[in-house]
Amino acid sequence: MKKYKKILMLSALFLSSTQGTLVGASELIATNMDSSAPISSNGQEEVEASSSLEESSENSSTADSSLEESVSESDHQSSHSSDKETEEIGTTPGSTTEKPEEKNNEKEVSKKPVAQEYFSRKNLPRVGVSLKQLPVKNSGSPFRDISQSMFKNNINWIYGRGITTGYTPTTYNPNAKVTRGEMAVFLHRLAGAPAYKAPFNVYTDVSQYKNQILWLTATTVSNGTAPHYNPNGKVTRGQMAAFLHRMAKESGKTPASAKYNPKFWDVQNHMFKNDIGWLSSKGITTGYTTTSFKPDVDITRGEMAAFLYRFYSVVVNNQKLPAAPQPYANQPIYYSQLDARWKNNRLNGSNVGVSGCVPTSLAMILRGSYGQNVDPGIVAKKADAISQESFGLSGKDLINTAKAYGRGAEVISNINRAETLLRAGYPLIFYINVGIGHAVVVSDYDATNGRVNINDPYGKLFYPSGKTTLRELWGRPSQDAMDWNAGRPVFAIK
């Protein structure tokens, strides 16, 4: 039987190579590659800007047995049921089970001979890949372990789009290595989590993420190593490039037979040379360094978030290499303009305690949402140098002060746009009427009741509960003309 298997595998390899499918043939040896010892990055920093880094210098502290990007409990159960399998995965963070599956039971055993198993895999009904824009599904961030990760913004972005639900409901585990099972779930969700029920399981080692893995097989984005998929095997940077390139080809987003010549010295004779070349040609990678890619280094979950974001931006949205997404997840912190540390700081013809609602509101967002080392006193000093007003800050003053800190301020002219941005996680500043114009910070929209969090910088005097509805705020805009000099005084700080 062993001799028969060897002949069969070599035959399959020969057939694949004669068809020019180098990447497909490489899947036949992926098990050995995935189980090989990872090449250490030795703490080397990538030369790309921090907003586009893709190789973490941190070492993973997660055991190699760590399983996949988790799916919901219903997914886990469905993988053991032939009658009620479902693709409704990861719908709510509360229903996720991100920890490794218990290994109390024997692995699933195929009842088919190896040859029959192999050709059944090849004959899975073919399904297509459709890559479309993904709606924002989640706002806020539940992950407590990403604040120091260089990939924090990317992780928050894939959470917002429903591509991840986390390793646990409150952690992402950014330094853990991506497994082949995780990759299947990531790519399934990247494609919009299409409904799919495999007619049969063609792998002997697949259970927990069965439908996602079989969907990936049916698309031919992955071929597995029949009769095994090796779901716990680690994914290398080269293999990642192959997965993403195939996704683009199968969706019709890139030519199926184009050839690419990457600039990296360490991939010139690599089996994934063409895939890495495609990744580079699209600007999805600029390399581990300017001259190397490190194709055999295992990729981490944090790095994968960056690649998924860039792939989506370039391939689905037809953008050039984008900057790292803004951190949708981090909520503003609270500052009071009445705080003794800065209430007497000068602001135009007054001081922060009397008229500093705008710099205080902006400081809440700059510090809490974007991690900039500022407070109301610091922001007020910057604004005071910019503003020409005699009292308080106008709408244009807010925009110009945000710009001085490297942030944009979108003027919001209708309530639907305000809701959309709040759902995406952007904090807003409203100038409202409380007898005079007064700036407050609004965040965290609740779609079930239309309520939002509101941070009132004047000691929470006007909103002591910290809650109100978006409609209530929209209906009480400031009546001060200076507040309207840039348009309706509602601003998204980006």
Contacts of 252 (CB under 8 A, 6+ apart): none
Q: Which residue has the higher pLDDT, 201 or 186?
A: 186
Question: Which region among 68-77, 160-169, 394-403, 420-429 has the lowest average model confidence (pLDDT)?
Answer: 68-77
Question: Rounded to whole angstroms, how far apart are CA atoms 30 and 375?
Answer: 52
d(CA 297, CA 304): 13
- Contacting residues for 231 by C-beta, under 8 A, at least 6 apart: 67, 68, 179, 180, 181, 184, 205, 206, 208, 209, 213
Give the helix ranges, DSSP H, for 79-177: 114-122, 152-160
Nearest to 405 by CA among 429, 382, 389: 382
User: What are the distances in angstroms from CA 470 to CA 125, 317, 426, 444?
Assistant: 48, 30, 14, 10
Both tokens of 150, joined, read 């260089």
Residue 71 three-state SS: strand
* b/e burial code for range 204-227 (CB count within 10 A of at least 16 → b): bbbbbbbbbbbbbbbbbbbbbbbb
Instruction: Using alpha carbons, list the distances in angstroms from residue 392 to 228, 269, 438.
Output: 67, 64, 10
Q: What percent of the chain has pLDDT over 90?
A: 54
Q: Quick check: 290 pLDDT over 80?
A: yes
- Cis peptide before 227, with omega less than 30 degrees from 0? yes
What does each C-alpha distance from 71 to 101, 123, 163 come to in angstroms?
11, 27, 10
Q: Categorise residue 126: left if φ over 0, alpha if ψ from -120 to 50, beta otherwise.
A: beta
Instruction: Specify which residues 36 forms β-bridges with.
Output: none
Asked if residue 287 lies in contact with residue 321, where contact means CB atoms within 8 angstroms, the answer is: no
In the chain, the domains with their CATH numbers are 2-316 (no CATH), 346-493 (3.90.70.10)
pLDDT digits (tens, 9 = 90+) for 241-271: 999 999 999 999 999 999 999 999 999 999 9
Tell me which residue of 239, 257, 191, 240 sits closest to 218, measured CA to CA: 191
Nearest to 401 by CA among 411, 415, 412, 386: 386
Task: Please check whether residue 462 is in contact with residue 430, taking contact to mean a CB–CB distance below 8 angstroms.
Answer: no
The DSSP code for 31 is H
Is 321 in a helix, a strand, or coil? coil
The predicted model gives 360-365 an average pLDDT of 96
Contact predicate 321/52, CB 8 Å: yes
Q: What is the pLDDT of residue 289?
A: 86
Tens digits of residue pLDDT in 138-165: 877 789 898 888 898 899 899 989 999 9
Which of 3-12, 131-140, 406-415 is modeled with the greatest confidence? 406-415
- Which range among 14-18, 207-211, 215-219, 340-344 shows the weakest confidence by mean pLDDT? 14-18
Q: What are the structure tokens assigned to 335, written together?
A: 């500052």
Rounded to whole angstroms, the Cα distance separating 285 from 47 reads: 11
pLDDT surpasses 50 at 65:
no
Supply the pTM of this predicted model. Answer: 0.51
C-alpha span between 256 and 346 (Å, rounded)? 63
Number of Cβ within 10 Å of residue 195's Cβ equals: 10
